[in-house]
Amino acid sequence: MTSAKFRPRDVGPMVLVLAFVFVSIAPLLWMALAAFKPTADIIAIPPVWIPDFTYLQNFQDVLTQFWPFIVNSLIATVGATILALVLAVPTAFALVNHRFRGREALADWILSTRMMPPIAAAVPLFVIFRGAGLLDSLPGLIIAYAGFNLPFAVWMTMSFVRRVPKELIEAARLEGCTWWQVLTGVVLPLSKSGLAAVATFVFIFAWNEFMLALFLTTREAKTFPVVISSFIGTGRVYWEYIAAASVIQCLPPVLFTFFMQKHIVSGVTMGAVKD
Amino acid sequence: MGQIKLENVVKSFGEFDVIRDVSLTINEGEYVVFVGPSGCGKSSLLRLITGLEDVSSGRVWIDGRDVTDVAPSERQLAMVFQSYALFPHLTVADNIGFGLRVSGRPKAEIREKVLTTARALALDPYLDRYPRQLSGGQRQRVAIGRAIVRAPTAFLFDEPLSNLDAALRVQMRLELIRLHDELKTTMIYVTHDQVEAMTMADRIVVLNAGKVEQFDTPIALYDAPANRFVAGFIGSPKMNFIEATAERGRRILTSAGAVEISNLKAPLSPGKVTFGIRPEHLGYDREAGLWKGTILVEEQLGSDAYFTVDVTALGTLTVRAVGERGYRRGDTIFLTPDPARSHLFAEDGRALTAPASNLSNSQQQSAAGSA
């Protein structure tokens, strides 16, 4: 800040910005506060602005009744993240470092599958999964999530693999490395930060995914977002559970991103080749 | 161990031929330099030998074995890259021992070999450091260490010194020559710097537009360039070229008078020719000589002076005057080519002259030294 001087003509934009921030943050704020209120306080008029933060009944109810679905969500998310990376990394490595007929077309085709709206795939996927016995199963969800994220994961990984200097790969090959050893010994350690970023994106997508889970699961493999939506019943809306569950739902991506951030360090490849 | 043979090697990228029908044999233990202007294909040729690029046609042989379809990892070659290509996530010790570890040698052996190599290259105090913590010269040494520790069939260097400053470059050049004397392993060295080529090589491959122009010892390239390209490329400052017309016998006619050529391979037949004379083989005088000119630029190096001389009828010529300090810009100067050291090239570039047989050995030595 070079100048903190107040200028009258800044008032207009400032008010606009504040209004925008308020509109954006209000629902979240409402949700976070409502999570600590009993039902009566949530709908009370005049509103109870500041709840009693020691009131944890909503969280306790949600966790005790619905914890298996949180576990489902976790398994599906972590599974999908791992599967997507396991498939995307060798794919991206091959697409970047091997010259073969149709390489670009293949890369473009992978990207193009991303352009299909998930809803378009939902019905065919349902039919296929029913045939394969994957409906309402966590492996099914993991496959679906990893599949939907693969194009993105491949392309993002490609951009990181491409940053590994070509000479390093050539040097490794001349030193006697097989392609697999080049990947595990040179490319992976040097794209760690990039892979952390890819993992973060896949994790957040899978954790927050709602629509596919709604289509493909019924009881056993139901994920937490689907459970949250079920709190809006025909007879009654369980605002207090929605609020508490939403707070819970928000936590893992925040924690995961925070944890991954430490790994997303720049300058890992410094000193590899000339400055 | 270490004979490398290329047989009618061609490399094309689409329509474009990068390497056009190259055949050459590099002998065991030889220090061969590939030199040429940028884009001549010298790095491509090196990469074809390593297998990092596949040949479009032709065969590559290493020690009598056809390796054309053999993966780079199986060719037992070591390469030092211009950018060093050190693994940034590994320490100096792990970088040097990388190849040994990949091939699954016992840990104790790796440690011992790494230590011996590091000592030889004065790297032992830095074994636990990472490449980013080293200076350019040290990184270069690590790259060399990684190459020599495996005792490969041949070493390949791709412009390894071009990222170093001038003083370090000279020092590393000497170290590489010493290293070759010690190891006696075949070395192929790619550079665009003809001084590096002349000083280091047993033999030099001069490449131009994907073709081998000449493959010979440094002295032979200097004394008897096979064609106009080699004549112009080897030697600094460059050889002077003068367009002329051949008459019959030994005479050629330049726009500034006739010149008798004494070292022709065969009598001339009439036609267009190019007369070539190196700056160090142009005699100069204030009073008399074949061509009269004016000094346009005087470049004084102390040991030598280079004069760019405007000879009205011929254009500008460069003269190298050893230790000369008496001339200034604007002075009149007379130039006379040394008839025994003249070169003549046919219209297609082919050399028509041979090195004069009366050149004594010592003269040849001094010519090499001044190159």
User: How far apart are the CA of A258 and the nearest CA of chain B, in angstroms?
Assistant: 24
Is the CB of B81 less than 8 angstroms away from the CB of A186? no
On whether any CB of chain A is under 8 Å from the CB of B106, the answer is: no
Query: For A173, which residue in chain B has the nearest alpha carbon?
Result: B73
Residue B112: alpha-carbon gap to chain centroid: 36
On whether any CB of chain A is under 8 Å from the CB of B84, the answer is: yes
On whether any CB of chain B is under 8 Å from the CB of A32, the answer is: no
Span A117-142, average pLDDT: 91
Q: How far is residue A241's CA from residue A238's CA, in Å, rounded to a whole number?
A: 5
Span A38-50, average pLDDT: 86
Mean pLDDT computed over every residue of chain A = 88
Query: For B134, which residue in chain A has the nearest alpha carbon?
Result: A271
Span B316-344, average pLDDT: 91
On whether any CB of chain A is under 8 Å from the CB of B163, the answer is: yes
pLDDT of residue A100: 87
Span A237-242, average pLDDT: 90
Listed in sequence order, the DSSP H helices in chain B are 42-50, 92-96, 98-102, 107-120, 136-148, 166-183, 194-200, 218-223, 228-233, 361-369
* pLDDT of residue A268 exceeding 80: no
Task: Scan for tokens 């939907």, then name that residue.
Answer: A148
pLDDT of residue B210: 93
CB contact at 8 A, A244 and A67:
no
On whether any CB of chain B is under 8 Å from the CB of A172, the answer is: yes
On whether any CB of chain A is under 8 Å from the CB of B103, the answer is: yes
Which of A7-11, A191-195, B215-219, B359-363 comes out lowest in average pLDDT?
Answer: B359-363
On whether any CB of chain B is under 8 Å from the CB of A34, the answer is: no
* pLDDT of residue A192 exceeding 90: no
Query: For A97, which residue in chain B has the nearest alpha carbon?
Result: B52
On whether any CB of chain B is under 8 Å from the CB of A165, the answer is: yes
Is the CB of B88 less than 8 angstroms away from the CB of A185? no
On whether any CB of chain B is under 8 Å from the CB of A176, the answer is: yes
Residue-range domains of chain B with CATH: 4-223 (3.40.50.300), 234-369 (2.40.50.140)
CB contact at 8 A, B295 and B329:
yes
- CA distances, B291 to each of B15, B58, B284, B294, B308 (Å): 48, 50, 9, 10, 14
Of A185, A271, A274, the CB nearest to B88: A271
On whether any CB of chain B is under 8 Å from the CB of A113, the answer is: no
Which of A111-120, A266-275, B119-128, B183-192 comes out lowest in average pLDDT?
Answer: A266-275
Under 8 Å CB-to-CB from B53, ≥6 apart: which residues? B11, B44, B47
On whether any CB of chain B is under 8 Å from the CB of A142, the answer is: no
Q: Report pLDDT digits (tens) over B44-62.
A: 999 999 999 999 999 999 9
Is the CB of A174 less than 8 angstroms away from the CB of B50? yes
Q: How far is residue B22's CA from residue B41's CA, in Å, rounded to a whole number?
A: 11
User: How far apart are the CA of B135 and the nearest CA of chain A, in angstroms?
Assistant: 10
Helix (H) or strand (E) holding A15: helix A11-34
pLDDT of residue B356: 66
Q: Using the CB atoms, write b or e for A79-105: b if 16+ within 10 Å.
A: bbbebbbebbbbbbbbbbbeeeeeeee
Query: For B51, which residue in chain A has the nearest alpha carbon?
Result: A174
- Long-range contact pairs involving B318-327 (C-beta distance under 8 Å, separation at least 24): B318/B237, B318/B238, B318/B240, B318/B279, B319/B279, B319/B282, B319/B284, B320/B237, B320/B278, B320/B279, B320/B280, B320/B282, B320/B370, B321/B284, B322/B280, B322/B370, B324/B284, B325/B300, B327/B284, B327/B295, B327/B298
Q: Report pLDDT digits (tens) over B118-167.
A: 998 889 999 999 999 999 889 999 999 999 999 999 999 999 888 888 88
Which of A70-74, A96-100, A126-130, B31-35 comes out lowest in average pLDDT?
Answer: A96-100
What the block records as the tokens of B308 is: 């760019």
User: How far apart are the CA of A55 and the nearest CA of chain B, in angstroms?
Assistant: 50
* pLDDT of residue A270 exceeding 60: no
Q: How far is residue B175's CA from residue B164's CA, in Å, rounded to a whole number?
A: 14
Rg over CA atoms, chain A? 24
Q: How far is residue B145's CA from residue B179's CA, in Å, rounded to a whole number?
A: 11
Is the CB of A167 less than 8 angstroms away from the CB of B73? no
pLDDT of residue B224: 93
Q: Does the complex come out with an ipTM higher than 0.90? A: no
pLDDT of residue B166: 85
Q: Report pLDDT digits (tens) over B17-40.
A: 999 999 999 999 999 999 999 889
Task: Scan for tokens 């490398």, then name that residue.
Answer: B4
Per-residue pLDDT band for A2 (boundaries 50, 70, 90) equals: low
Sheet holding B251-254, edge to edge: B257-260, B251-254, B240-246, B271-277, B343-346
End-to-end CA gap in chain A: 33
Instruction: Write the DSSP string, B100-164.
Output: HHHTT--HHHHHHHHHHHHHHTT-GGGTTS-GGGS-HHHHHHHHHHHHHTT--SEEEEESTTTTS
Which one of B12, B13, B74, B81 would you mutate to disrupt binding with A, by most A Cβ within 10 Å of its Cβ?
B81
User: How far apart are the CA of A129 and the nearest CA of chain B, in angstroms?
Assistant: 43
Q: How far is residue A248's CA from residue B138's CA, in Å, rounded to a whole number?
A: 53
Residue-range domains of chain A with CATH: 67-261 (1.10.3720.10)
On whether any CB of chain A is under 8 Å from the CB of B71, the answer is: yes
On whether any CB of chain B is under 8 Å from the CB of A265, the answer is: no
* pLDDT of residue B364 exceeding 60: no
* pLDDT of residue B365 exceeding 70: no
Nearest Cα neighbor of A224 from A201, A202, A240, A247 is A247
Q: How far is residue B93's CA from residue B78's CA, in Å, rounded to a whole number?
A: 17
Is the CB of A174 less than 8 angstroms away from the CB of B89? no
Per-residue pLDDT band for B361 (boundaries 50, 70, 90) equals: very low
Residue A18: count other Cβ atoms within 10 Å of its Cβ.
10
Is the CB of B85 less than 8 angstroms away from the CB of A273? yes
pLDDT of residue B313: 86
pLDDT of residue B368: 41
Task: Scan for tokens 């957040």, then name that residue.
Answer: A204
